[in-house]
Structure 1
Amino acid sequence: MLPSDPAVAELLTRGRIEVEGRLVDASNATLFCEISGAGAVAHCVYKPVSGERALWDFPDGTLAGREVGAYLVSEAAGLHLVPPTVFRAGPFGPGMVQLWVDTKEGDDLVDVLPPGEVPAGWRRVLRAHDRFGEPAVLAHSDHPAVRMMAALDVVINNADRKGGHVLHGTDGEVYGVDHGICLHAEDKLRTVLWGWVDEPLPEDVHDMLGTLRSAVDGSLGEDLAEHLTRVEIRALCTRVELLRGTARFPTPGADYRAIPWPAF
């Protein structure tokens, strides 16, 4: 089942969840599941609130709720960059349920490569050395959807956009996952997608920001209130307006780490 399938929302909301395994690299309980109902079957990720590790700097709400909030923002902006995501009851209590996205083998959009192997057109973010002391470059694709994801990360204040969170689906679309630590009121942007630093925003990003700002004043604001504080929703509006006002991709902040660790 593809994220664009009209039946996805109903399946995620009402389908029967059967846990098949756990993604052991995740810091919080992240379960790989089959979900079925009304003749439809798909795979999903289920993150129960009961499996969340408390974070001192994200004391309000739940990480699962922030995952849903990121999806709601992406949809309201017309981006469809976050796989369909709902908050519902599950085998281990309430949590986030998100459609699993199958990815293209060997078609990464973010990578760490030797300097001479960076694909033409890719954006170089950071020069460093690998664990063997050899020169290496953190770089990412110049794909328009990756650029739009970079803008989305600014407005949702994503504190953990790792390279492995940028997926190239087998349907040809680009998706971002793992948004548990985003939408905070304080500046916390940490991302590997810094390839457009200080460049003017293209027209499609301008249009997206206008659409999103209007949506926050309407039903989006009401939907987000189920998962975020009023201060966090106001901060979302402020970030949208600031990005529209500067009309440029931001530069990394000097008072906090701008790239997540690890980067993947």
Structure 2
Amino acid sequence: MAEPPDQPSLAEFARRHDPDRFLCALFAPAASREAIFTLIAFNHELARAREAAREPMMVLIRLQWWRDAVEEAVARRPARRHEVAGPVSRAIANGSLDPAALLAMIDAREGDETGEGAPPLPERLRGTAGALAAETGRLLGAPPERMEGLRLLGTAYGFGGTLRSLSALAAQGRDPLPEGADPVDAGRVLARKGLSILDAGRKAAVGLPRGAVAAALPAVLAQRDLQRVLSPGWQPGAPPAPRGLGDRLAVAWAGLRGRV
């Protein structure tokens, strides 16, 4: 049955809102891409909760809406009328997505809104970008012993994305750099931390099946983003430059050869 006219394709949704992960998903087996696009869309909606509502309580209410949507899908209740909630419900029902993993992603976002006692940046990124990479790998058939590697690679991508988005994060009151620190020096400290996690992830992901390599491909962009922060002339307040041909070719080369 065709999607209703008010429902854009999930591929287009992912391409528009998360072009990095959309590009990586194109190197997954065709039969798995719809589930990956659903996961990307779900992650975007969780991230958008903070962008759409500045007050922590309103963010938590939005995240609770998604928690309820996942739990209702588990209970086989009718899907909510929403362009992403519907596909998420169907993916849970057909076993493509693990509801426990989705709920853990919500937990990580909620922990970012609790103020005092919120987890440090590496832990937050592990629960968001890292969890997304691991769940992508799971649905692509990655073995359990490679999940930690994927989680680390996803976390490293989160470091790169955070440093690319410093100006937007600061505008939302979410500057991850230590208050009072030189922003260039502090950003480079984070970049080196991200590269260390990336290296650990690559070692832990050795032997990842070729069919699951799409889950690891964001690490290619992480390497390039983090190295840019360490290059002369990096400015933390500058808006992120659009992805260039070099970035896309690096992902394509890694995807075609089946390793990162």
Structure 1 or 2: more helix by fraction: 2
The structure carrying a bigger strand percent of its residues is: 1
